[in-house]
Amino acid sequence: MRRSSYSMVAIALVTASCANPAAAPTGDLLVEAGFVERKADSPERVAALHALPPHEFVLRDSNGSVKYMYADPIACNCIYVGGQRAYDQYRRSMAGRVGNDQLRAILSTAPLPGEAGL
């Protein structure tokens, strides 16, 4: 009985990770929202990449228009750049997603099949 409990948990986790769009890499989500990937392929771009905090949005005013930048020095060695529309679309796409921490909290508080009374 215990083995089937583990099997059911494994199936649930695999299903959740496949069905959960939050499992997609951040870069893919940013590009889908309208951000443009700028590779750090020159000394100037490398310096710009290292000047930004990694994995955080930074808001900049560029000639009167708003630009959002997201530095990813690990996955792509790039900066994602987008305007207000791209940022808003990214936020909307993230709003309905269940994060891994939320999934762990749900699984850790709900009794698994066969574990009632343990």
What is the radius of gyration, based on Cα positions, of the chain? 20
Count CB neighbours of 33 within 10 A: 19
Residue 111, C-beta contacts closer than 8 angstroms, at least 6 positions apart: 118
pTM of the model: 0.62
Burial readout 63-92 (b: 16 or more C-beta within 10 A, e: otherwise): eeeebbbbbbeeebebbbbbeeebbebbee
- Interatomic CA distance for residues 62 and 109, integer angstroms: 47
- Per-residue pLDDT of the chain in tens (118 residues, 90 and over written 9): 444 444 444 344 444 434 443 434 588 999 999 999 999 999 999 999 999 999 999 999 988 899 999 999 999 999 999 999 999 998 888 876 766 666 666 656 655 555 555 4
Q: Domain coordinates of the chain in residue numbers?
A: 1-20+98-118, 25-96
